[in-house]
Chains A and B, each alone.
Chain A
Amino acid sequence: MRQVDSEPILAIEQLAFSYRDKSVLDDIELDLEPGHILALLGPNGAGKSTLIRCICGRLQPDAGRVRVAGDDPIRSRAARSAIGLVPQQVALYSHLTVTENLETFARLAGVERKAVAATVARTIEFCDLGAVAGRQAGRLSGGWQRRVNIGCAMSHSPRLLILDEPTVGIDPPAREEIERLLQRLAATGLAVLMTGHDLAQIEILADSVALLSEGRIAATGAPRGLIREFFGESHECRVSLDRPPEVGLAETLAALGLKAEDGHALHWSGVIDEDAARRLQSSLPADAPINDLRVRRPGLDTLWAQLYGSELEHAA
């Protein structure tokens, strides 16, 4: 059971930001409470990075306000002290050992010299970095580097952890380790704000998601709730054919609510209601050249495709 505080650690109200007269963010409203994981989603250029920079106090909004731990991060050192940022890159000194990196970032984050050793020991234990504590960061595998990357952002005990694509470029086992680490951190009461393109991971990990589109929040809420809100009891269907369909088969697929994904009409997909999904197989002719047929409940990727009009792979 996660610890939940009524006061949000991050509160954004009617935030607007423009760059060279072009609106980048508009009317952004977000709250993040301690112990919660919020995922910011959106294609490149949707405004995620700009929003994170506003939260970190690096950009002055044109309108609205950002509060971190109750203060303006641009003006308040205390507000900035409450933030731990994990950049998308592996932001470590590669020639230093893991312990030296943790010590360095603890000091640069304002941890008292006397308290550094205890802080580092705590971080090593919590992030399970003991096995690599004495090794140079540059010689670690990608998965370990990502974990150290997170550990360095934790060194000053922040209240809000911001992660920019924390699992990009690492293999599934390492990704699962990171997921477990983030869940453990949230369980301690840390508020976690993350971005990412692994929608299946986010669907499991995040308590809530905010989908940005052209600088505005297009949808926000708990992943399952949002999916239910958009698709109800509908199902996502996908049919793959061995060869382009005859006119009759194409008409049947279209009548079921599926659309051809490409010019050759080899792949058909769509979100169709529960009844149509149930009779999909029986509606197709027995000699139809079906290679694959899948029916599943919609996920965040379905929502993404609905909102952004393209497949995730293309958008990412």
Chain B
Amino acid sequence: MIPTVAKVMWLAVWRDRGALMLAFVLPPLMFLVFAEVFSGAGDSDLEMRVALHDSAQTPLTGQIVAALAELDGIEPVAHETEPDRSDAGGLEALVRQARVDAAVWVRAEPDGNLDAEPAIVVIGDASRRLAAAIVTGRVQRLLQAEFPELGVQRAAALVDALAGPYTEQQRKALDLALSELDSAGLEEETGEDTSQDGLVAQRLLGGGRQIDDGVSYYAGAVAILFLLFAAMQGAISLIDERNSGIVDRLVAGPGGYTVVVVGKGLFLTLQGLAQAGLIFAVAWWMYGIDWPGRFGLWLVTACLAAAVSAWLGLLLASLCRTRQQAQTASAFVVLILSAIGGSMMPRFLMPGWLRELGWFTPNAWVIESWHGIFWRGNGPAELVQGWAVLLATALAAMLLSIWLAHRLAREK
């Protein structure tokens, strides 16, 4: 008897393609996304987009920058220094605009001068401090492995300063050792991120306000995730109405079915707006996000995020025949969009190909837009591209949904 019940359950899954996908396709797909992220997070496979800039322009700094560019896990991003901006200002702008995960600024040739500012500065964004830390670690490891003489030189200078000047004989022996180190390098890494005090500094750029670094990112990430879930669930009522005969009744009348679809789109958009409002109200109240101060820009993004969610939900419901099919499809779509769009983990942790794929999700555009508003202090000019993408997606989904509704009403 027990195997009979199990067989019935198996047949239910086997004959429901949606359930089959949810049970056996979605888990490996989600695993793939998470594995790509977290398997790379612990070693050098995690690729960071880095702007490399050499202000010193000496043979040694040239070698350092070239070695950094060749380093595994560093993807150099080409950039031009703006004439009216300092090198640091230009690099900071690139980081703030999230065009790179971090910037490495070689501002002087490293030497043994203990009073000088660190020769290499890794510029990162405080909301992505992990990226800055990873790049800093890689720079330090590179210097240790490929340019060990720099560390020893500074250590020797430190000993010289603390323990009294070296004798002439000691200085000659030190120079010889440094030159041998320079030509040989270290055969293998120590496996530890040995600090190269004084050589590399890390500079983290804060947002416009003193708020928890991840709050503005996760407020957006969570908001778009739940907007999509709620819109998909709400849109499923379209299928209930189709199956219950309500659509037949409405189609026979003068109003037609299109008004129903548009009405649902309007409601789901307003519902999404309210959901996003609640999340950001909590972020404002609890974490000090400047929601009232940036309300206008937030509202534009929120309207677009809600509209995209609503119309994608209605489009999906229009394409499905049964409630069960729509529930399965919506779970599938929302989880995948959210995983690769950055709702579940920051996109800078993802490999390059997954990061690029993320731009095909509304999540990435919505998160970037809100993060830009609250963290980077972006204005309309910087946000307009994301808004245009969201608007175009919402319009396309709306037109398709209405066309499908029209086709359903006038069967051919």
A interface vs B, CB < 8 Å?
53, 56-60, 74, 77-78, 80-81, 83-93, 105, 108-110, 152-153, 156, 162
Would you call A91 and B246 a contact (CB within 8 A)?
yes
The CA-CA distance from A110 to B252 in the complex, in Å, is 12
Most buried by B among A80, A91, A153: A91
Would you call A89 and B244 a contact (CB within 8 A)?
yes
The CA-CA distance from A80 to B411 in the complex, in Å, is 16
- A204–chain B nearest beta-carbon distance, Å: 26
How many interface residues does B have (CB within 8 Å)? Answer: 18
Query: Chain B residue with minimal CB distance to A83?
Result: B252
Would you call B250 and A108 a contact (CB within 8 A)?
yes
Interfacial chain A residues near B251, Cβ < 8 Å: 56, 58
The CA-CA distance from A221 to B255 in the complex, in Å, is 34
Query: Chain B residue with minimal CB distance to A155?
Result: B253
Query: Chain A residue with minimal CB distance to B245?
Result: A87
Say if the beta carbon of B205 comes within 8 Å of chain A: no
Selected from B244, B254, B260, the residue in CB contact (under 8 A) with A109 is B254
Interfacial chain B residues near A108, Cβ < 8 Å: 250, 253, 255, 259-260
Most buried by B among A83, A108, A152: A108
**Per-residue A-contact encoding for B385-412, CB less than 8 Å = 1, 0 else:** 0000000000000000000000001111
B interface vs A, CB < 8 Å?
243-246, 248-255, 259-260, 409-412
Give chain B's interface secondary structure class: helix
Interfacial chain A residues near B248, Cβ < 8 Å: 85, 87, 91
Would you call A152 and B410 a contact (CB within 8 A)?
no
Selected from B244, B246, B254, B410, the residue in CB contact (under 8 A) with A74 is B410
- A101–chain B nearest beta-carbon distance, Å: 10
The CA-CA distance from A60 to B407 in the complex, in Å, is 12
The CA-CA distance from A84 to B253 in the complex, in Å, is 7
Would you call B249 and A91 a contact (CB within 8 A)?
yes
Query: Chain B residue with minimal CB distance to A86?
Result: B249
Would you call A162 and B255 a contact (CB within 8 A)?
no
Interfacial chain B residues near A152, Cβ < 8 Å: 249
Selected from A78, A88, A89, A162, the residue in CB contact (under 8 A) with B252 is A162
| Given A53-B411, A58-B410, A108-B260: A93 in contact with B246 (beta carbons within 8 A) | yes
| Given A58-B410, A58-B411: A90 in contact with B259 (beta carbons within 8 A) | no
The CA-CA distance from A87 to B246 in the complex, in Å, is 8
Interfacial chain B residues near A81, Cβ < 8 Å: 253-254
Selected from B244, B254, B259, B412, the residue in CB contact (under 8 A) with A91 is B244
Interfacial chain B residues near A92, Cβ < 8 Å: 244, 246
What 9 A-B pairs have minimum CB-CB distances, sorted nearest first?
Answer: A87-B245, A91-B245, A89-B245, A85-B252, A56-B252, A81-B254, A109-B253, A91-B246, A110-B254
Would you call A105 and B249 a contact (CB within 8 A)?
yes
Interfacial chain B residues near A162, Cβ < 8 Å: 252
Query: Chain B residue with minimal CB distance to A73?
Result: B252
Cβ contacts A to B, 29 pairs, < 8 Å: A56-B252, A57-B252, A58-B409, A59-B411, A59-B412, A60-B410, A60-B412, A78-B254, A80-B253, A80-B254, A84-B252, A85-B248, A85-B249, A87-B244, A87-B245, A89-B243, A89-B244, A90-B245, A91-B249, A92-B244, A93-B246, A108-B250, A109-B254, A109-B255, A110-B253, A110-B254, A110-B255, A156-B254, A162-B252
